[in-house]
Amino acid sequence: MILTCQEDISAPIERVFSRLTDFTRFERAIETRGGDVTRHAGPPDTPAPGMAWTIRLHFHGAHREIEAELTDYAPPSAMCLGAASSGLGAEGRIELAALAEGLTRLSVAIDLGPKTLGGRVLMQTLKLARGKLAEEMEAGLARFARRIEAEAAG
């Protein structure tokens, strides 16, 4: 199952990519929401393919452990992250395009797939909730874009 969305951001492509690759900030955000993040590879200030994390959190009433890795890194236009949890695998592709000076299009595609029989059952549930998942993804991306614009403005 593939979920996609895009958002236009009133900020230069370099600023948007810099914010997207501020992994320390994302780690802190997960921890402030009660999760635990362990970085296995890569220095905090130099993103590169091979950076990896273990993320432990409660999601929809269950404890989840996610292994994530930065698999592709092409500043300032693209990056790809792979992730695996019990039963599911995911690949997230993030692409940026400079539409004009100070205007960037952010496109996100997430490909989810089952790895086990339990994952197949979970995928059926996710497919039924696909519309809601897409709405939440679009709303989250829009909030993220507005925060980048606010930071760029002030």
Instruction: Give the C-alpha separation, 12 to 36, whole Å.
Output: 32
Looking at residue 44, its pLDDT comes to 65
Asked whether residue 75 carries a pLDDT value surpassing 80, the answer given is: yes
State the average pLDDT over residues 65-73. 96
pLDDT band at 152 (very low <50, low <70, confident <90, very high): confident
Parse the chain into domains and list their residue ranges. Answer: 2-153
pLDDT band at 109 (very low <50, low <70, confident <90, very high): very high
37 Cβ neighbours under 8 A, 6+ residues apart: 27, 30, 31, 53, 54, 55, 56
| CATH code linked to domain 2-153 | 3.30.530.20
Asked whether residue 83 carries a pLDDT value surpassing 80, the answer given is: yes
Q: Tens digit of pLDDT for each residue in 51-63?
A: 999 999 987 778 8
First to last CA, the chain: 39
Looking at residue 41, its pLDDT comes to 77
